[in-house]
Each structure stands twice: as C-alpha cells, then as structure tokens.
Amino acid sequence: MKMIIAVVQDKDSNRLNDALADNQFKTTKLSTTGGFLREGNTTFMIGCEDEHVDDALTIIKKNCSQRDQMVAPISPMGGNADSYIPKPVKVEVGGATVFILPVDSFFQF
C-alpha cells in the first residue's frame, strides 16, 4: 500500500477532487499555504494499493496544469522600502508536487 501526498494549486483542487472521486479514490484534503508565493494550496492525501498508483498519478497529471502568472515580488528585508519599486515577474504556477510513501499498516475505525 502507498500514501500519495499531492500538493496542488487551489485553482486545480476541485477538478482533481472530482476526478479522483469519479475513479473511486478516497482522499483527505488539507488547506495549505505555499512558502514561495504565499498563496493557497490544497494537499491531497490518497491511500491506495500499489497497483493503482499509476492510475492516481495519471489523474493528478491530467487535472493539475501548469500556467504562467504575474507576481509582484515581496519587498526586501532590511533595505530602504521607500526606494523599492516592485516590478511584477512571470512565474510558472500550478502542476502538482507529489510524494509517494510506503504504508506499513492501515487502520480504519
């Protein structure tokens, strides 16, 4: 058995949740915040048998698209903020960060 932990952008979470449910994957959703952009994410915890891991990864990849987004940088720490003029930069967001962990035991009470 494996535990799949997938961190996805909030914009993709409802679509991914529906797709996983349609394919009988049981999930636990957690609201999380990313460190770099400080935007909302959703972390999915998906427990599944080893033979279904590839199916889950296919669903995640299909429903979590990468896209470009303009982001205003955070002002520098310790510097003179009066002279700091933030210039938006384009960053790639979306997609999914996925961890797959072995599960020794599983109990449901």
List pLDDT tens digits, range 64-73: 977 666 666 6
* Of 95, 96, 109, residue with least CA distance to 46: 96
Tokens of 104: 């020794």
HSE (side-chain half, CA atoms, 13 Å) at 6: 28
Tens digits of per-residue pLDDT, 50-63? 999 999 999 999 99
Compute the average pLDDT of residues 15-20. Answer: 96
* Closest listed residue to residue 62, CA positions, set 103, 3, 101, 6: 6
